[in-house]
């Protein structure tokens, strides 16, 4: 398996523009996580899905952020409109959650470095 695949690796956009980040989890995994990493706030969990259903989106900073998982092999994180403070590295990770809620380790993608100017 190629691991978790994120695209694009780098994104530079102007303030106010819509940004869409993409993630393909590892085949067979049933949990997917979106994290944001900044120097100031560290690694923050934005949202996670289990079996394509959003379970906890309490980390999504505001309504400008939305995430979808239309099927088991694809997820998007959208920011509309984007702002300079959204500049960060966004990671997608996937794992296999067994019955009973026990996750094996999460496998991370290489991240998308977003710069909003």
Mention every residue, 6+ apart, whose C-beta is less than 8 A from residue 80: 18, 19, 64, 66
Applying CB under 8 A, which of residues 7, 68, 74, 108 lies at the interface with other proteins? 108
**Site residues (CB under 8 A) for other proteins, limited to 56-85:** 56
For the bound state, the minimum distance from the C-beta of residue 80 to other proteins, rounded and expressed in Å, comes to 25
Supply the minimum distance, in Å, between the C-beta of residue 81 and other proteins: 27
Question: If binding is defined by CB under 8 A, does position 106 make contact with other proteins?
Answer: yes
What is the phi/psi pair of residue 84, to 5°?
-55, -35
Can you name the residues that pair with 13 across neighbouring β-strands? 116
């Amino acid at each position: 398996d190629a691991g978790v695949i994120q695209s694009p690796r780098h994104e530079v956009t102007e303030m106010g523009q819509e940004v869409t980040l993409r993630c393909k989890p590892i085949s067979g995994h049933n949990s997917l996580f979106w994290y944001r990493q900044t120097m100031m706030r560290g690694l923050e969990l934005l949202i996670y899905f289990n079996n394509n259903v959003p379970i906890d989106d309490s980390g999504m900073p505001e309504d400008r952020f939305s995430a979808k998982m239309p099927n088991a092999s694809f997820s998007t994180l959208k920011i509309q409109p984007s702002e300079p403070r959204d500049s960060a590295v966004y990671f997608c990770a996937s794992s296999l959650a067994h019955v009973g809620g026990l996750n094996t380790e999460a496998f991370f993608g290489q991240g998308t470095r977003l710069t909003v100017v």
